[in-house]
Amino acid sequence: MRRTLFEGITHAALTEAPPRPDEAALAELAANVNRAARARLGRSLSIRQVDAGSCNGCELEIHALNNAFYDLERFGMRFVASPRHADVLLVTGPVTKNMREALLRTYNATPAPKWVVAVGACAVDGALFGGSYAVVGGVKDVIPVDLHIQGCPPSPTDLLKGLLALVEACSS
């Protein structure tokens, strides 16, 4: 263990320079994010992830945000265990009919001001799963969405660009 820890001190960090915030996301957020809410939250955001029906591909890449290369916490963002602690809901998946109620309850349990980020192609409009008897559609068909991050799944860099745009919009 000592050798591993020692190397951590002597080797250069793996953490990479942040990407620039996504321009399209900044534009979408400028229209959506309330100015009063920005003042209250500053640059620190607590994120609650909700899988509303995904294939778990998006979850894998959201997990990767915590690894040494992307290190999400350096930007003041962290994942929390309860919607009651959250400022942001990061929602994945086409919303299934079986998860619709749970998503609504999670949204209602999140204190205002709050934002919803829909992650992945399915969360935008249901993608491949649209039209199924068991699927409602995109996240916006159930709760209001402030930002969409595209991709199947979005790469950690895509996720970071979107989330940095959110921090930017919240603190400007």
Partner 1 sequence: MATSDTHGLWAQAIGRLADGECTLLGLWADGDVVHMALLDRGCRIDRVSYRCTDGSYPSVGASHAPALRLERAIRDLHGLEAAGSPDTRAWLDHGVWPTSRQGAAPADYKFLPAEGEGLHQVPVGPVHAGIIEPGHFRFTANGEHVVRLEQRLGYVHKGIESLMRGADLDRAANLAGRISGDSTVAYAFAFALAVEAATQVAPPARAVALRGVASELERLANHFGDIGAICNDASFALMHAQTSILRERVLRAAGACFNHRLMMDVIVPGGLSRDIALDGPAALRTLIAEVRKIFPRLVELYDSTASLQDRTVTTGIVKPEYARRFGAGGYVGRASGRDFDARRDLAYAPYDRLRFDVPVLEAGDVNARVWIRIREVEQSLSMLEQLLDSLPPGEVRTVFTTQGASEGLALVEAFRGDVLVWLRLNADGTVARCHLRDASWFQWPLLETAIEGNIIADFPICNKSFNCSYSGHDL
Q: Which of these ranges, 35-43, 47-55, 138-146, 160-168, lies near partner 1 under the rule CB under 8 A?
A: 47-55
Identify the helix (H) or strand (E) that includes residue 148: strand 147-149
Smallest gap from Cβ 21 to partner 1, in A, equals: 22
Name every residue whose Cβ is closer than 8 Å to that of residue 52 and which is 6 or more positions away in sequence. Answer: 91, 92, 93, 94, 95, 96, 99, 100, 102, 103, 123, 139, 142
Q: Please say which residue, 13 or 36, places its beta carbon nearer to partner 1.
A: 13
Tally Cβ neighbours within 10 Å of residue 134.
11
Q: Please say which residue, 44 or 155, places its beta carbon nearer to partner 1.
A: 155
Q: Which of residues 119-148 bind partner 1 (CB under 8 A)?
A: 128-129, 131-135
CA 42, 104, 155, 23 torsion-angle sign: negative
Smallest gap from Cβ 125 to partner 1, in A, equals: 14
Locate 32 and state its tokens. Answer: 């959506």
Strand partners for 116: 89
In the shown chain, the binding pattern of residues 72 to 101 toward partner 1, with x for contact by CB under 8 A and - for none, equals -------x-xxx---------xx-xxxxxx
Q: Please say which residue, 20 or 97, places its beta carbon nearer to partner 1.
A: 97
Smallest gap from Cβ 16 to partner 1, in A, equals: 11
